Structure 1
């Protein structure tokens, strides 16, 4: 997971949070989060990288549509990342409380 760019980590989180999403489902979710358009030329090569790394599996929904699912390795990587984040947040002297 340490060798992924932030966009690829975000893709992992989105794939993990949706049930067998297709590329457009993932694209829509990321566009909501980033509040900007995600181009196909950015989305699909990064999804393919995650597939090549064994973090995401690509399957067929129909002749034209692929679906993506997190692999066991991908889930383990996300869990390890969450533990790492939680450990570092505990060590931070800064407060993460947002004032009202």
Structure 2
């Protein structure tokens, strides 16, 4: 996960916390957190990067709507990140 941007890490966390979210649901969650608009030109290329890295799978709900889920590798990466953060927070 060390090669991901903070935004890409946030995408992983949002996807892990929702059940098969579609792009708009992910966008809305991030906009609430960042308190600003997330443009499609930022969101979808970063989702595609996570898919290309094998951290996220993209499925198709219908012809217009894709959904996203973490792969096992994506879940392991999040858990490893949390373990790494915890060692410094608990110190």
TM exceeds 0.5?
A: yes
Q: Which runs of 4+ in 1 moved over 4 A?
A: none
Q: How many residues align?
A: 91
CA RMSD of aligned residues (A): 0.4
Please say which structure displays the higher CA radius of gyration: 1
SS of residue matched to 1:37: coil
* Structure 2 segments unaligned to the other structure (5+ residues): none
Relative to the length of structure 1, the TM-score reads 0.90
SS of residue matched to 2:69: strand
Q: CA deviation at 1:76?
A: 0.2
Match of 1:98 in 2: none
* Structure 1 segments unaligned to the other structure (5+ residues): 92-100
Relative to the length of structure 2, the TM-score reads 0.99
